[in-house]
Amino acid sequence: MVVAVAVLAVVAACGGVASSGSGGSVLHVVAAENFWGSIATQIGGSHANVQSVVSDPNADPHEYPSSTNDSRAIAMADVVIVNGAGYDTWAQAMLGASKRDGRRVITVADLVGRKEGDNPHFWYDPAFVARVADQITATFEAADPAGASYFDQRRAALDAALKPYRDRVAEIRQKFGGVKIAATESVFAYMASALGLDLISPSGFMTAVAEGTEPPAATVIQFQNQLRTKEARVLVYNVQAFSNVTTNLRHLAAAADIPVVGVSETLQPESATFQEWQVSQLLSLENALNADALAR
């Protein structure tokens, strides 16, 4: 990380590159994570070259090892999109080491009124996603005024593409609002709220797993009891942040015939759009809830 920041500082000292947003030329955009990168790509179209830094579906984004190539990309970008709230501190460090005029930075945490210590998984909140898409559109238009009408058209197209995602959320909320579920990590908390589901997992457990620390013993026992007694009707499992404790909970759920639904922090598969990824996961969750309802 020290080497990466040092290289970034050298690039910044050399002046980086001039904004490429004027005259309809292509904007250079860097998204710290590929879920925001997918949104930016769909809005930017042929007027933006979007690079997503964290994209490996097998990696834990909380433990991402940044590189000098990432530093260089951020230093030279016209627009940078970071999640914030402590989720991608490596990106914040790179931005701090390459301060220069002309670069526009979108920090999602600031946009949605959250800070470090809050749940940083903002892309699992449909309302936040819409707000970020609007901000990306406005930022692209400010960077490339000549392309404003193009970006507006792309934003409208994205809104249409997101309709199946919004419809699936509304359907699950209508059919299963109030149903109790459990989750191994806080990644799903915003979506559970949007779906009207009752997420009963101990908050201390979910936060500890998200932060890569050992959950308090009392929360582990409470979680185990929620599964043994079938108080939770579905277990949502983060496939990118797991440990012996969460794996044991997954096995406990299976033994109790509680459906287990895997979700991820970044796009899976990596080639999927944001909405394809989310709809796939929501469909798996709805199928699990349906299966549980039929079994009762």
pLDDT band at 24 (very low <50, low <70, confident <90, very high): low
Where b means 16+ CB within 10 Å and e means fewer, 114-151 reads: beeeebbbbbbbbebbebbbebbbebbbebbeebeebb
pLDDT digits 0-9 by tens, 117-164: 999 999 999 999 999 999 999 999 999 999 999 999 999 999 999 999
Mean pLDDT of the chain, nearest integer: 90
According to CATH, what is the number of the domain 168-295? 3.40.50.1980
pLDDT at position 110 over 90: yes
Write out the residue limits of the CATH 3.40.50.1980 domain(s) in the chain: 2-161, 168-295
Whether residue 19 is predicted with pLDDT greater than 80 in this model: the reply is: no
Indicate the CATH number for domain 2-161: 3.40.50.1980
The DSSP code for 100 is -
Q: Which two tokens stand for residue 213?
A: 């620390």
Using pLDDT thresholds of 50, 70 and 90, give the confidence band for residue 14: very low
Least Cα distance to 57 among 262, 243, 278, 269 occurs for 269
Q: What is the pTM of this model?
A: 0.90
Phi, psi of 267, deg, nearest 5: -55, 130
Instruction: Please state the φ and ψ torsions of residue 212, each to the nearest 5 degrees.
Output: 75, 25
- Site of tokens 């990696």: 59
In the predicted model, is pLDDT for residue 246 greater than 70? yes
